[in-house]
Amino acid sequence: MHPAISVIFFTVTSGAGFGFIAMIGAGVPLPQGLAAAFFLPLLAGGLAVAGLVSSTFHLGHPERAWRAFSQWRSSWLSREGVMAVLTLCLFGLYTLIWMITGDRLLWLGLIIALGALLTVYTTAMIYAQLKTVPHWHTALTPLCYLGFSLACGHLLATTFGPSGGSGAVGVAVLAILIAWGLKLAWWNRAAATNLAAAGSTPESATGLGSMGKVRLLESPHSGENYLTREMVHVIGRKHAAKLRRIALLLGGALPLVITLAVWIFAMSPGWLIVAFAGLLAGLFVERWLFFAEAEHAVSLYYGGGQK
């Protein structure tokens, strides 16, 4: 699949933003005062909104994006839009109350936390629902998205949390480990999953398998088309192994080392912002691979999957 920068930025950034919103809503310890009540929700909401705005850049008609709120009964993309806006509206209200009264309403916060996690889940389901892309079509996909979202959110919450919260730093280590553990399980499954394993071959695509082995002789047109550019994208698979190591190093090892150092040597939690930057950078690489490595069934009509 074609790895569109706008969609990579969207899934990573809004995942981190909604993860932080979930943490704020769940009532993790954060500094008191008006500045914290303004800037921390601004950062969380800003990340979420930046991601959502970026996602509209890949639309052919962004001015009609409001229509996407209508089909939540059947469409995961629509559900994602509805959940994101609902959660952000409630979060705005929560922030306003926090700024004015200095109180963080736990009951409202918990509703927001649930909404934020559901938003991340619906984002992941946009991909996980697609039977046409066997790599994505698994419950591990939403688990990975949720894992990374929570790891990002928790790391941010710990960065800005009151110093001396060593328990929270320990949980951050655990959250990063769990998130990458899920991703390793996802990669492990992906290695054994391709179109053929899902039962789709050039033979099933053409229905000519009973006659013999099927090979593409001529494409419909001599040039590229929307389908080949969007769904038969193969550039970058060559460097997949290297890119995975880079993702693990930047997004896994680096944040773990920093977080562990902060935990063990009781360093200032401000250092965790470097860990967060590493995690985010690693996730951009991870998300790029999520798209670039995924095979789509339509490739079988364009010479893919031939033995």
Partner 1 sequence: MTSLPASTDKALGLVIDLDTCVGCHACVVNCKEWNTGGYGAPLGDIDPYGAEPVGAWLNRIHTFEVSPDDAPASIVHFPKSCLHCSDAPCVTVCPTGASYKRSDDGIVLVDESMCIGCGLCAWACPYGAREMDPVENVMKKCTLCVDRIYNDNIPEEDRVPACVRTCPAGARHFGDFSDPQSDVSQLVAERGGFDLMPEMGTAPVNKYLPPRPKTKPDSGAERRIEPEAAKADGFLGWLDQALEKLG
Q: What residues make contact with partner 1 under the rule CB under 8 A?
A: 1, 58-62, 64-65, 67-71, 73-78, 81, 126, 129-133, 198-200, 202, 204-208, 210-221, 223-227, 230-231, 296-298, 301-302
Tally of CB atoms within 10 A around 304? 21
Q: How far is the CB of 60 from partner 1 (least distance, A)?
A: 2
Minimum CB separation from partner 1 for residue 79, in Å? 9
Q: Please state, in angstroms and rounded to a whole number, the distance separating the CA atoms of residues 89 and 86.
A: 5
Nearer to partner 1, 117 or 232 (CB): 232
Nearer to partner 1, 27 or 220 (CB): 220
For the record, the structure tokens of 245 come out as 């190591």
Q: Which is nearer to partner 1, 195 or 243 (CB)?
A: 195
Q: How far is the CB of 291 from partner 1 (least distance, A)?
A: 11
The H or E element containing residue 257 is helix 254-264
Selection from 84, 1, 10, 2 nearest residue 284 by Cα? 10
Q: Which is nearer to partner 1, 151 or 205 (CB)?
A: 205
Q: Which two tokens stand for residue 299?
A: 């490739």
Distance CA 252, CA 231 (A): 29
Distance between CA atoms of 186 and 139, rounded to whole angstroms?
A: 9
Closest CB 215 distance from partner 1, rounded Å = 5
Q: Report d(CA 212, CA 16) in Å as an integer.
A: 50
Closest separation in Å from C-beta 127 to partner 1: 9
CB of 190 to partner 1, least distance (A): 17
Q: How many CB atoms lie within 10 A of CB 154?
A: 27
Contact 45, 87 (CB under 8 A): no
Q: How far is the CB of 304 from partner 1 (least distance, A)?
A: 11
Specify the residue, 238 or 307, whose C-beta has the smaller distance to partner 1: 307
Closer of 67 and 245 to partner 1 (Cβ): 67
Burial class (CB in 10 A: 0-12, 13-18, 19+), 278: buried
**Whose Cβ is closer to partner 1: residue 60's or residue 242's?**
60
Q: Give the DSSP H/E element, type plus range, for residue 127.
A: helix 106-128
Closer of 198 and 260 to partner 1 (Cβ): 198
- Could you tell me if 243 and 289 are in contact, meaning their C-beta atoms sit under 8 angstroms apart? yes
Taking residue 197's Cβ as centre, other Cβ atoms within 10 Å add up to 9
Least Å distance between CB 268 and partner 1? 43
